[in-house]
Structure 1
Amino acid sequence: MSILIDQNTRLLVQGITGGEGSFHTKQMIEYGTKVVAGVTPGKGGQKFDGKIPVFNTVAEAVDKEGANEVGIMPGFIHREGNVGVISRSGTLTYEAVYQLTQLGIGQSTCIGIGGDPIIGTNFVDALELFEKDAETTAVVLIGEIGGTAEEEAAAYVKDHVTKPVVSFIAGRTAPPGRRMGHAGAIISGGHGTAAEKMAALQSAGITVVQNPAEIGQTVKQILAQNI
């Protein structure tokens, strides 16, 4: 089953009256998402599309409509199923999901935790939820250089996760001291390298692929072994 959110989750859209916000809101509504509020500072009191209330702040929208915020993922590449996906990279999330779907492997929930130094949900939070979810049978974990999130995830998997985990770490060729893409993707003081993270994950029994193109096939092979 889906963790964190499902088809009944009430959502708000920040910047709903802008070009990008209105475009994605209409796409979400067509998909069946329950968009119950929008937020655009200075435009509180208006109605989007004649029916969705617009508020000046997120706090107002949450208080009045019980709304939640989530990120945006393209629905058409996803398929309902039993593989959980957690990733620091948005683009690699789409790549992994597309591969799985093309192989007929659906996803239970896909979680993008972001690549900044300070985030909300982390790998361990998501792994705990996937481990407790009876309908999630395997997990894909996509990390990148910088920080210690992957090492912490490896330690958690080793002690608490019974389901197979497949991982890919981005940034193997990144030079030390140079930020790559995300604010948190930087090797500092010789720590946070891809090699260190891959070694930690492998020592925890996690299958680590060398190339993102191998994610889907590797998951397929592992699922076949665990039938």
Structure 2
Amino acid sequence: MSIFLDSDSKIIVQGMTGAEGMKHTQRMLNSGSTIVGGVNPKKAGTTVTFEGGTEVPVFGSVREAMSSTGANVSVVFVPAVATKSAVVEAINARMPLVVVITEGVPIKDTAEFYALARESDTRIIGPNCPGIISPGQSNAGIIPAETAPNPGPLGLVSKSGTLTYQMMFELSDIGFTTCVGIGGDPIIGTTHISAIRAFQADPDTKAIMMIGEIGGDAEEAAAKFIQENVTKPVVAYIAGFTAPEGKTMGHAGAIVSGSSGTAESKKLALEAVGVKVGRTPSQAAQLMRDCLQ
């Protein structure tokens, strides 16, 4: 099994005909994803042929694409200025899962489409995220499938894209049910808690790897949730142990102010509820191996 994405997922790509959309649609196809359409009102009625001979139709709207193909996942590859309208269109069409890859989306825009999604049945992953992969089943986003070629018993949820890839590589011999890159913006659609709740409910996920980073209190909130709701082993890595105070490190939400949001404070909160925390990705991977043994 897996969470959020599986072999039955039918994916459309909003912005498929742009440079990034084309490149990553090809990569998703190469990793076995079922891509059933693209969305671009200016190119509706045309088709795009990818390497390997896959011909993908282009539709004028998300609603039309869903009606014609049965799509249940949309991956959004549009510029930040147009992201809000693209996501709102998908929500209004009642798309079950919307993966927003775009970075630099204004927080106000994210807050507005997130509020709309909460009133609907749409799950949003992102923005500013690498997406989601269930190895051997489907890949929606920009995650390199070759870093996690095997399905297995681990669930991974991560704020960081590149650390998602590294941890997938570190534990590729064990394998994953699903890897979710949730993004590091101050407002995101799917949180650590959302993914951990789903992994706890998934019978094939035997242990959970959580990657966080400095800034905010998402990891402390996850620690409280784990204490009250999770029975499976959880291992964590928190990026930013050496980050200087007051300096943004990569993601917009990754900034430390005083003692709030430091890697050390997050480590202590997680360890207090029984989560093992590594100070490096490799150390966290070894802690996971020890848990499984």
The two structures share one fold, judged by TM-score above 0.5: yes
CA distance 1:62–1:146, change in 2 (3 Å): farther
Relative to structure 1, is the Cα distance of residues 97 and 54 closer, same or farther in structure 2, using a 3 angstrom cutoff? same
For 1:129, the equivalent position in structure 2 comes to 198
Deviations along 1:146-203, one digit per CA (max 9) or x if unpaired, are 1111001000111110111110100112222221100111113541111111110000
State the shift of 1:205 in Å. Answer: 0.4
CA-CA distance at 1:26 after TM superposition: 2.3
1:181 and 2:250 matched: yes
Q: What is the alpha-carbon distance in structure 2 between the residues aligned to residue 63 and residue 197 of structure 1?
A: 45
> Please, which runs of 5 or more residues in structure 2 have no aligned partner?
75-98, 100-130, 132-141
Q: Which residue of 1 aligns with 2:144?
A: 74
Aligned to 1:95: 166
TM-score scaled by length of structure 1: 0.91
Structure 1 counterpart of 2:86: none
Q: Once superposed, what is the RMSD of the aligned Cα atoms? A: 1.7
- Partners of 1:160 and 1:67 lie apart in 2 by 29
Contact in 1 for aligned 2:259/2:265 (Cα 8 Å): no
1:4-153 pair list within 5 angstroms: 4-49=4-49, 51-58=55-62, 60-62=64-66, 64-65=68-69, 66-69=71-74, 70=99, 71=131, 72-78=142-148, 79-101=150-172, 104-153=173-222
Asked whether the 8 Å contact 1:36–1:67 carries over to 2, the reply is: no
Scaled by the length of structure 2, what TM-score is found? Answer: 0.71
User: % of aligned pairs identical?
Assistant: 47
CA distance in 2 between counterparts of 1:55 and 1:109 reads: 29
Question: Secondary structure, in 3 states, of the residue corresponding to 2:22?
Answer: helix
In 1: Cα distance, 2:60 partner to 2:167 partner: 36
User: 1:130 & 1:140 partners in 2: Cα distance?
Assistant: 10
* Distance of aligned partners of 1:151 and 1:100 in 2 relative to their CA distance in 1, 3 Å threshold: same
Cα offset, 1:128, TM superposition:
0.7
Relative contact order: is structure 1 or structure 2 higher (C-alpha 8 Å, sep ≥ 6)? 1
Q: Structure 1: which 5+ runs fail to align?
A: none
